[in-house]
Structure 1
């Protein structure tokens, strides 16, 4: 039976007697001076758990009908997002929100677009894996059949190396996937070279002008996309303030009182607080060039459209929404300033991050029989 490239790469890093060895602490690929992501005590980062998680992330056999893997909606070439307005699950169900990029997710204090209760990756993973409305991976109802697929010699070795014995359990699947996602750190953009490695020629003059605009009180972009991860949702050892990660940006205002479409009203669905209507989490802007379309519903197709949206102070009647964030007040840009701001956003692209992960993507048929 064919073995996928991802599994060959993973197994090459392990040896047959690995189960008798203690797991290897994970070596973070993070520049000096940056904090490491938060890691639950119950799921320590090891090289072996990340290796298993990498294999599982690209594994279609983890879905109920073998039709999709995690990487179907989180593609390495698109910073682990999907270039579609909405993703679709293994059975064809439409996922109501745009697939977020998985970039520096380990730093997030909250997960998903609009849920303040998901504070760990392990919690969030339960939704795409086991959710039924909509069905994404479609594990529910297929648990025994799916676990049976991982009783191959290859996967026995991976589970044993990561957890000490060969048993494939969903607790281990979730922990390994969370470890892999936590390992997806990105700090090698031109902006990083300029700001943190002091390479004066790393950014163009246009991008430097755009950076000044981005961090200006005139545009106020940094209020919602601040810090080294360009989002207020970050939580880490260096974070001193408890910042508000959810914002209403004036994307909709259906009734003059700030209403959003019923199919997705944002954080209010969780808190039941009317003031949270239309509030969604500000995502990281790292690798933002690669993760179009934008916003929670994928309704803005390009960075040009995003810049125009914020310059207008919202969209349509959303501009006048009483629930809109005060930081989305609109601004005027010349054509040159628009391009400068765009060039700054492009300078946040980490080509090494994408290439490294693409090289680990499977290219051969699945190795697990369905």
Structure 2
């Protein structure tokens, strides 16, 4: 079926007044209908080759759309090498994934989990037509029709709808936001305020890599066109005394083929960080306490002496009270409403699909 309709109502971002609007590709404008279709697809196991997993398998709403496992595994059981990044304010990310400087849009990034073969994630490759056939139902035809103006089901439209849904996952309702942007002087405790002062101090230098309203150096929006190079070697490894990382994952150097990029990974947002354990690109640190100890030491084990680690990884000394305060501040970045809305996003009655 085809239909003619008026242009959809303009999409209104769920962000505080005065905050910049994220960049959106001109060929994939936001609409409520497209976000709704993307939501259904995000939680849809039929989108994987064998119907065994959905995007939400590794990006769980209760964990701020991350996964409480060290590294993720794909639909066929193949183990990945990286921890699943939280999908928090991804619309503002200037770079996507842990270590790739060539992926500037969510549409580009989505092709990796969908079509990747080494390792297999969603397992679409080789199953493209079989998967599309599953969505030849009245429910999905209606959703595609509402989103795109006709009911044709294509991979380009699936990717665009998923990207629109992921862009819609904005988080600005933490108690820190109440304090910093809504002028509620009582939103943070005395301990959290002391932790905030530590976080933004030159003594700890956390804000250099996790700064700005999104608590990450990798941010772009309509008021900021330039994205600083947000990849850093934090001294997590130093296998050969020259700063090398395990051959299984050498970070940005795998893409750039530049030795200077050995072990460089993107600094993720710290929004909702208390919900997204374990931490680091390989999930090797289990708790926020371990993370703070890691930065205090200026690296991990031999990584402390890495000659190519970030200059911001000089280490520092905290008292027990200061550690408690700093972790308390990080907890104040939790947006409970974001988590509740994420859980509600999961369709109670999913659209029907054709079973293979």
Shorter-chain TM-score: which interval? over 0.9
Mean Cα deviation higher: 237-246 or 295-304:
237-246
Q: TM-score, normalised by structure 1?
A: 0.94
For the residues of structure 1 that align with 2:318 and 2:222, how far apart are their CA atoms?
Answer: 37
List aligned pairs for 1:244-323, cutoff 5 A: 244-323=229-308
For the residues of structure 2 that align with 1:68 and 1:105, how far apart are their CA atoms?
Answer: 22
- Tell me whether 1:155 sits opposite 2:140 in the alignment: yes
For the residues of structure 1 that align with 2:350 and 2:42, how far apart are their CA atoms?
Answer: 15
Aligned partner of 1:178 in structure 2 is 163
Distance 1:166 1:36, change over 3 A: same
For the residues of structure 1 that align with 2:350 and 2:76, how far apart are their CA atoms?
Answer: 20
Which of 218, 221, 227 is the aligned partner of 1:233?
Answer: 218
Q: Give the secondary-structure state (helix, strand or coil) at the position aligned to 1:359.
A: helix
List aligned pairs for 1:3-152, cutoff 5 A: 20-152=5-137
For the residues of structure 1 that align with 2:179 and 2:35, how far apart are their CA atoms?
Answer: 30
Runs of 4 or more, structure 1, over 6 Å off, are none
Q: Give the secondary-structure state (helix, strand or coil) at the position aligned to 1:123.
A: helix
For the residues of structure 2 that align with 1:290 and 1:85, how far apart are their CA atoms?
Answer: 14
Aligned partner of 2:312 in structure 1 is 327
Distance 1:172 1:17, change over 3 A: closer
Could you report, residue by residue, the CA deviation over 1:226-247 in whole angstroms, capped at 9, with x for unpaired residues? 0000000101123375422000
Q: Give the secondary-structure state (helix, strand or coil) at the position aligned to 1:118.
A: coil
CA-CA distance at 1:336 after TM superposition: 0.3
List aligned pairs for 1:349-368, cutoff 5 A: 349-363=334-348, 367-368=352-353
Aligned partner of 1:212 in structure 2 is 197
CA-CA distance at 1:26 after TM superposition: 1.5
Task: Count residues in correspondence.
Answer: 355
For the residues of structure 2 that align with 1:339 and 1:278, how far apart are their CA atoms?
Answer: 29
For the residues of structure 1 that align with 2:4 and 2:125, how far apart are their CA atoms?
Answer: 30
Could you report, residue by residue, the CA deviation over 1:11-44 in whole angstroms, capped at 9, with x for unpaired residues? xxxxx99863433321111101111111000100
For the residues of structure 1 that align with 2:202 and 2:330, how far apart are their CA atoms?
Answer: 17
For the residues of structure 2 that align with 1:28 and 1:176, how far apart are their CA atoms?
Answer: 16
Mean Cα deviation higher: 236-245 or 264-273:
236-245
CA-CA distance at 1:287 after TM superposition: 0.3
For the residues of structure 1 that align with 2:226 and 2:196, how far apart are their CA atoms?
Answer: 23
For the residues of structure 1 that align with 2:319 and 2:128, how far apart are their CA atoms?
Answer: 56
For the residues of structure 1 that align with 2:302 and 2:351, how far apart are their CA atoms?
Answer: 49
Aligned partner of 1:195 in structure 2 is 180
Residue segments in structure 2 that go unaligned for 5+ positions in a row:
none
Could you report, residue by residue, the CA deviation over 1:275-304 in whole angstroms, capped at 9, with x for unpaired residues? 000000000000001100000000000100
**Aligned-pair RMSD on alpha carbons?**
1.4
For the residues of structure 2 that align with 1:163 and 1:362, how far apart are their CA atoms?
Answer: 21
For the residues of structure 2 that align with 1:238 and 1:275, how far apart are their CA atoms?
Answer: 31
Aligned partner of 1:165 in structure 2 is 150
Answer whether contact 1:105 1:182 (CA < 8 A) is retained.
yes
For the residues of structure 1 that align with 2:96 and 2:123, how far apart are their CA atoms?
Answer: 20
Q: Give the secondary-structure state (helix, strand or coil) at the position aligned to 2:345.
A: coil
For the residues of structure 2 that align with 1:65 and 1:262, how far apart are their CA atoms?
Answer: 30
For the residues of structure 1 that align with 2:223 and 2:348, how far apart are their CA atoms?
Answer: 40
Answer whether contact 1:85 1:98 (CA < 8 A) is retained.
yes
Answer whether contact 1:78 1:291 (CA < 8 A) is retained.
yes
For the residues of structure 2 that align with 1:164 and 1:365, how far apart are their CA atoms?
Answer: 21
For the residues of structure 1 that align with 2:88 and 2:3, how far apart are their CA atoms?
Answer: 30
Answer whether contact 2:219 2:227 (CA < 8 A) is retained.
no
Q: TM-score, normalised by structure 2?
A: 0.97
For the residues of structure 2 that align with 1:361 and 1:74, how far apart are their CA atoms?
Answer: 12
For the residues of structure 2 that align with 1:341 and 1:348, how far apart are their CA atoms?
Answer: 11
